[in-house]
């Protein structure tokens, strides 16, 4: 019985040693975790040549259950519809991903970016400049 007990403890001890640990000293050692592909972090507006892919169809603010997306459409020089204003209020966002699902042109996606803490309320408003990456 003692033999089995020691065997078990050895396994435990092995995982205490270097190379086997899954605990990360976050954020002290500057580790960045790699979340899964399906993780729903900060939004990103997909760029397309000289502009954003978004055509300001208003489906994302319509579907958004938290009402955190503000879109204002306008006409650019080429006569195309584009979002003059695109803002996400992350304080209200619930990261449900419905905006991504609703988008007919795959212009918005959610990245693995999870470090979203900040000091000022205003900093949680992500405008087009911060979203198009």
Nearest residue (CB) to other proteins, 72 versus 127 = 72
- Closest CA relative to residue 88, chosen from 125, 128, 114, 57: 125
What's the length of the chain? 133
Binding to other proteins by residue 105, rule CB under 8 A? yes
- Closest CA relative to residue 77, chosen from 47, 51, 56: 51
Binding to other proteins by residue 70, rule CB under 8 A? no
Binding to other proteins by residue 93, rule CB under 8 A? no
Binding to other proteins by residue 68, rule CB under 8 A? no
Q: Which stretch binds other proteins (CB under 8 A): 13-21, 49-57, 91-99, 120-128?
A: 49-57
Nearest residue (CB) to other proteins, 48 versus 75 = 75
- Closest CA relative to residue 94, chosen from 71, 67, 72: 67
Alpha-carbon distance of 112 to 117, in angstroms, equals 14
* Residue 117 structure tokens: 């803490």
Binding to other proteins by residue 49, rule CB under 8 A? no
Binding site for other proteins (CB under 8 A): 55-59, 62, 73-75, 79-81, 104-105
């Amino acid at each position: 019985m003692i033999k089995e007990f020691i065997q078990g403890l050895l396994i435990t001890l092995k995982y205490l040693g270097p190379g086997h640990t899954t605990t990360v000293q976050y954020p002290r050692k500057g580790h960045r975790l790699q979340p899964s592909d399906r993780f729903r972090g900060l939004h990103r507006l997909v760029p397309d040549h000289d502009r954003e892919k978004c055509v300001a169809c208003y489906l994302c603010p319509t579907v958004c259950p938290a009402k955190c997306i503000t879109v204002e459409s306008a006409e650019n020089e080429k006569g195309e519809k584009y979002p003059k204003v695109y803002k996400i209020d992350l304080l209200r966002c619930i990261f449900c991903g419905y905006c991504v699902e609703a988008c007919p042109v795959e212009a918005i996606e959610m990245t693995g970016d999870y470090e979203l803490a900040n000091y000022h309320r205003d900093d949680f408003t992500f405008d087009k400049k911060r979203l198009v990456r």
